[in-house]
Structure 1
Amino acid sequence: MKRVYLLLTLMLSGTASLFAQNNVAPGHVENEKAAYVKMIIQRSDKIAAVLHIDDAGKQQKVSNIIRDQYSNLNDIYAERDANLKRTKETHAENKTALEAAKATEAEKTEAKLAKLHKKYLSKLSGQLTPEQVDQVKNGMTYGVLPITYKAYQEQILTLNDEQKKQILIWLTEAREHAMDAESSDKKHAWFGKYKGRINNYLSAAGYDLKKEGKDWELRRKSAAQAIK
């Protein structure tokens, strides 16, 4: 989800003075806000649609829960950014104090995200099966977990059950973090971090990942030629 920091700051404050401070016309902000709300509604409806919920009312309720989660996440990040802006202005001449304040703000943000994450999953679990909750998580993270898990198994044909289990554990952990990330890039960054951990784990187990990758590419080319 793209950052809309200015919009979100304005949404949080809603004051005329902030409009003047940022030289942004209220009408423009309202248009941006409407576009943002439309975007998260569409995204939430799309995620809820693949859950195959028979009850239309229940499906709408689930979509609303997902929509509210996107909105609440953005509220947290907008508040963080507003606080950081004030912190930079207050401690502009004191680098040590600035870094300490930034660290404190990061801790506060993480605490808020953890609390929201738990509450969100509780709401989803009250409406959905565990399998459907996983589908929502995948929908919020572009399906990176199943795609990556499948790719590891296709790339390295000799993975044993224990290795597959560990890979899945780490990808699942990455997904939990990515769900709360503030942008598409940061969602993917969480998976990148854990893929690095997985690659180190596989290298330590004796796998030559470069060779495995080349062999996988050859298998895919051969399969594509066979279809032709």
Structure 2
Amino acid sequence: MMNRIFSILILLLLSTTVMLAADIKLNTRNLPADAVNEARKKTAEIMDRLSLTNDSIRENIQIVITNRYLELREIHQNYDERNKKIEAMGLPKEKAADELERSYYQYNSDLYRSRFGYIAWLSFYLNNEQVETIKDAMTYNLFQVRYNDFLDLLPNLTESDKNRVHHWLVEAREFSMDFETPRKMRQMFTKYRGRINNYLSSRGYDLRKATEDQEARKMKK
């Protein structure tokens, strides 16, 4: 109950009126039909991971997820087009750099707003476990794969270090949901893997030796 109340407050802060199930509409954002069909296909794959018995909730979640994919496509397109216009203006190097930086800040702001609202809508209809399922499905289960790999790489991880690794990979998953392709998502997880490796090395773990031991265990299997 508290989660639902919190979600409503978030939506109000976003200046969005919490609507009844029948009020949620697909927003194609005037994108081409192939883009809409692709978003629907991705959504269908995610819905297969959920066990929703309520038809109304299932329909609304389908729309929420599809709208998110379409909004992401629009945000990325706007960012690329904005940058192309800036580069075509022939501005002095310093001025162009300032404009591109401003464009990047706008891009990140748009992504943050989109992600914030998306999670709020999901949380309004679903429980935490179901929302986690959607996040993992959207990011090709990279969080679980990378976390399990760290546990296998370093079986002697302390609980504190496990929590730190878990926290950073959760963060990587949140940001990777802002991208449309598996390649970009993997890049985000790779970025966080580097951060985690640096942290673990500073904690005294020998990652090179751990990798050799892990490979040896795999060969035996």
Coordinate RMSD, CA, aligned: 1.7
Partner of 1:89: 88
Runs of 4+ aligned structure 1 residues displaced above 6 Å come to none
Amino acid paired to 2:134: V
Deviation at 1:69, TM superposition (A): 0.2
Matches within 5 A, 1:122-161: 122-161=120-159
- After superposition, the C-alpha distances for 1:55-109 in whole angstroms (9 at most, x for unaligned) are 233223212211110100111111112211111111x251111111000000111
Q: More deviation in 97-106 or 213-222?
A: 213-222
TM-score, normalization by structure 2: 0.82
Amino acid paired to 1:152: F
Partner of 2:4: none
Task: State the alpha-carbon separation in 1 of the partners of residues 68 and 79 from structure 2.
Answer: 17
- Contact 1:149/1:167 (<8 A) preserved: yes
Partner of 1:66: 65
SS at match of 2:157: coil
Name the CA shift for 1:183/1:95 in 2 (closer, same or farther; >3 Å): farther
- Contact 1:49/1:59 (<8 A) preserved: no
Partner of 1:177: 175
SS at match of 1:126: helix
- After superposition, the C-alpha distances for 1:106-126 in whole angstroms (9 at most, x for unaligned) are 011111111111111110001
- Contact 1:174/1:194 (<8 A) preserved: yes
Deviation at 1:182, TM superposition (A): 4.3
Partner of 1:36: 35
Task: State the alpha-carbon separation in 2 of the partners of residues 98 and 67 from structure 1.
Answer: 35
In our comparison, the structure showing a higher alpha carbon Rg is 1
Matches within 5 A, 1:182-197: 182-197=180-195
Deviation at 1:183, TM superposition (A): 3.3
Amino acid paired to 1:79: N
Whether 2:44 is the aligned partner of 1:45: answer: yes
- Contact 1:149/1:171 (<8 A) preserved: yes
Task: State the alpha-carbon separation in 2 of the partners of residues 164 and 215 from structure 1.
Answer: 19
Amino acid paired to 1:69: R
Task: State the alpha-carbon separation in 2 of the partners of residues 191 and 38 from structure 1.
Answer: 28
Which consecutive residues of structure 1, in runs of 5 or more, have no partner in the other structure?
1-10, 15-29, 224-228
Partner of 1:107: 105
SS at match of 1:125: helix
Q: How many residues are paired up?
A: 194
Deviation at 1:221, TM superposition (A): 2.1
Identity %: 28
Task: State the alpha-carbon separation in 1 of the partners of residues 57 and 48 from structure 2.
Answer: 11
Deviation at 1:36, TM superposition (A): 2.3
- Contact 2:151/2:157 (<8 A) preserved: yes
Which consecutive residues of structure 2, in runs of 5 or more, have no partner in the other structure?
1-27
Amino acid paired to 2:208: K
Amino acid paired to 1:49: D
Task: State the alpha-carbon separation in 2 of the partners of residues 133 and 99 from structure 1.
Answer: 39
